[in-house]
């Protein structure tokens, strides 16, 4: 199965920009962006991010406010702050041997950076990789990481796998099986997540009186470190606050 998978990947693997580098910073950026955002949305934002902050030192020197503004549209803004904090930590002391010591880096992200940047013999197991392994009954090894991700994302789909074009179908015990619909994330429209995002967009444009904003959203954003509230004004971290008129 491994050789069939790798041969398929050689011919069908996705050409993604973070696969053209071994720079651990660039791969960290891609993995954090991909944590809760689809690949097609991440690609242009990843390229723009690296154009603005091409090195980890560049990102570490940026303000948290600029980082939050640049992240707009990707959602789950805590990822932006964690990425910024991770850059500050790396710029100050280098890459730790245990990558989970970096803010926002859990076991999967650490394994992905370890494999794709540092060449470690570890298989990052995301939902796509776990699905292919469970259905085939094979464990695979680190060499198969990117191939498993692509197979799970494009062929071995969660609900209706495309077994007819799968390179592993001949030996797969799950061939032809259909699966129950997955539980979908709650709708963004009308949700508290939308209220938070709308409030953060307003504050990103300029500091605003707290009385003009959604109080619950401001409280949640403040708890996450995404805004600060001082003297009745809500601003981004390190965002300059206009002095009151006298």
* Alpha helices in the chain, H assignment, sequence order: 2-12, 24-34, 39-52, 56-61, 64-71, 78-93, 107-116, 127-136, 145-154, 192-205, 215-223
Residues designated as active site:
31
Rounded to an integer, what distance in angstroms lies between the CA atom of residue 127 and that of residue 237? 34
What burial letters (b/e) apply to 97-114, b meaning 16+ CB within 10 Å? eebeebbbbeebbbbbbb
Q: For the chain, state the CA radius of gyration.
A: 21
175 dihedral zone (left: phi>0; alpha: psi -120 to 50; beta):
beta
């Amino acid at each position: 199965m491994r050789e069939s998978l790798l041969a398929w990947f050689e011919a069908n693997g996705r050409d993604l920009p973070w696969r053209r580098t071994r720079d651990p910073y660039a791969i960290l950026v891609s993995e954090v962006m991909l944590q809760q955002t689809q690949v097609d949305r991440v690609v242009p934002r990843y390229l723009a991010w690296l154009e603005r902050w091409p090195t980890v030192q560049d990102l570490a020197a940026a303000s948290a406010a600029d980082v939050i503004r640049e992240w707009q549209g990707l959602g789950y803004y805590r990822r932006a702050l964690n990425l910024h904090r991770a850059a500050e930590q790396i710029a100050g002391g280098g890459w730790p041997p245990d990558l989970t010591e970096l803010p926002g880096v859990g076991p999967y992200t650490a394994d992905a950076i370890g494999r794709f940047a540092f060449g470690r013999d570890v298989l990052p197991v995301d939902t796509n990789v776990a699905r292919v392994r469970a259905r085939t009954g094979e464990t695979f090894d680190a060499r198969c990481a990117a191939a498993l991700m692509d197979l799970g994302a494009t062929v071995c789909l969660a609900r209706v796998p495309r077994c007819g074009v799968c390179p592993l179908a001949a030996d797969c015990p799950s061939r032809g099986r259909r699966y129950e619909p997955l539980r979908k994330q709650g709708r963004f429209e009308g949700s508290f997540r939308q209220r938070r995002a709308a409030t953060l967009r307003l504050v990103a444009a300029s500091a605003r009186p707290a009385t003009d904003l959604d109080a619950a959203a401001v409280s949640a954003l403040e708890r996450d470190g995404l805004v600060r509230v001082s003297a009745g004004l809500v601003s981004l971290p390190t965002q300059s606050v206009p002095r009151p008129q006298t």
